[in-house]
Amino acid sequence: MTRKLFGTDGVRGQANSYPMTAEVALRLGAAAGRHFRRHGQNDHRVVIGKDTRLSGYMIENALTAGLTSTGMNVLLLGPVPTPAVGFLTRSMRADLGIMISASHNPAADNGIKFFGPDGYKLSDAAEAKIEAIMAGEISPAKPENIGRAKRIEDGRGRYVEYAKTTFSGREMLAGVKVVVDCANGAAYRAAPEVLWELGATVIPIGVAPNGCNINENCGSTHPETAAAAVVAHGADLGICLDGDADRVMIIDQNGVVADGDQIMALLAARWADAGRLKGGALVATVMSNLGLERFLMGRGLRLERTRVGDRYVVERMRAGGYNLGGEQSGHIVMTDHVTTGDGLIASLQFLAAMAETGHPASELARQFEQVPQQLRNLRYPRGQEPLSAVAVQAVIAEAEARLVGRGRLVIRKSGTEPLIRVMGEAEDAALLTEVLDGIVAAIGAAAPAV
C-alpha cells in the first residue's frame, strides 16, 4: 500500500487548507481509532499533545471527535514536547499517541504525528493502513460505546520528572548558567523547569507563545537569537529547541552554534569509551557531514546512514540493536531513554559531559572538522515538479560527474514543506559553490515562481 496523505513525519500542511483541515483531522482521527481499537474491549486510550499554534485547538477538537466516534477515550495533555507524547503513550498504557505540531515550520502550518502503543512513531505500512481506512466507510462505535475525553493536568509534570532522571545529579549543575530558547513552542514551560530544578541558573527566552509566534526568529532554526543572549549574559551554554522540542542546537559560551552532527559525535565517543554504545555504530542520515563519518572511523566506530527523517533513523536503530542516532538538524535519538528525538534530554547529556569533564562547551561542541558543506532550500509552487524537468536532471548529472571522487550531492524534496533541499559536500569549496549555483539556477528556471 502507498501513502498519499502522510509525509516523512506524519501529516503536515498549512492550517485550514488541505490536508490540515478540521474535516480531514476528524476523519483521520476516526480512521486511526478504528485501526487501533482492540475488539471486545472498551478501555481504549489515546493521548493527544500539541504545541502552541493557534490552529492546534481546531485540530485537537476535530481529532477528538473522530477518535471518540470510534470508541476511543481521549486524554488531552495540552502543550507538551513531542517526546513527551511518545513517553506518555507507553507510560499511560495508551493504544495510540498523537502530537499536533508542525515542528520547526512557521506558525501558519500544522501537523499530526502518530505514535504506536510502544511509544515509537508509526511505520510507513501502518500509516498506509490508516489511509486505506479513510478511503472507505469508517464503522462508528455503537452509541453506548462512544468514547470520552478529558484533560490530563499532570502530563507535563510526568515528563519533567522523567527527564530529570536521565541526568546523574542536580548538584552537578550548581553554578552553571544556561540560556534556553524554547521557540515559543511546546517546551516553553517544561524545559526551563527541568533545568532550574536540576540546579542551573536559567535564562529563558522564547517562552511567551501567543499562538502565532512559534519558531519566529527564535529556536533551533534561528539560533542567532540565543547566541546573542549567551554572550550578553555570560552564560556557559545555550540550548535552542524547535517548536515541538524534538530538535536541539547547542551554543557554546562564545556564541558559536553546534549542530546535531557535533552533538552525536560527542555522545558516540563518550558512550563508546564507557562501553554503552551498542553495536559500535551511530545511525544518522545521508545529510550528516562526511567529517562525522571520518571522526567515527578514527575511533573504530561506524556510521550507519539512512534516508532523511528521524523515524527512519529509529527504524534502523531498532532493526540493528543500536541505541544512538539522529540527524544533523538536531534530532538526537537515545533509545536507552526515549523513543524519538528529544532536544531537552540530549541537552542534559551535553551538560553531563560538561559537568563530568570540567571542559567548557566550546571544547565539547567541536569534536571534528567539518568537510565544507552547503545546503540550499528552494521553495517551489505546490503542484509543480521541477526535479522532473529534463534540463534540471541534465544539470544534476553533470554536477555529479564533476564531483566524482571529490564530493557528493544529496538532492531531495522535503517531506514536510514545498521545498527542494540541495546539499553538497566537497573539500574544494569553490567547486562546490559553482556546482550548487548551477543546480539552483536550473531549478529556478524550471519553476519560475520559486
Nearest to 225 by CA among 242, 246, 209: 242
Output DSSP code: residue 143: G
d(CA 7, CA 328): 19
Cβ(388)–Cβ(380) below 8 Å: no
CA atoms within 13 Å, Cβ hemisphere of 209: 25
Q: From the candidates 103, 288, 329, 347, which is the catalytic residue?
A: 103
What are the strands, taking DSSP E only, across 217-372? 237-241, 248-251, 257-258, 281-285, 302-306, 324-326, 332-334
d(CA 338, CA 325): 11
Amino acid making up residue 388: S
d(CA 332, CA 185): 18
Cβ(3)–Cβ(105) below 8 Å: no
Tell me the chain's radius of gyration from C-alpha atoms.
22
d(CA 275, CA 194): 28
d(CA 249, CA 362): 13
103 has catalytic annotation: yes
d(CA 31, CA 128): 11
Q: How crowded is residue 106: how many other Cβ atoms within 10 Å of its Cβ?
A: 15
> For the chain, how far is it from start to end, CA to CA, in angstroms?
32
Q: C-alpha cell of 149? A: 475525553
Identify the three-state secondary structure at position 424.
Answer: strand
Q: C-alpha cell of 65? A: 471527535
Nearest to 348 by CA among 223, 250, 211: 250
Per the DSSP assignment, residues forming a β-bridge with 254 are none
Active-site annotation, residues: 103
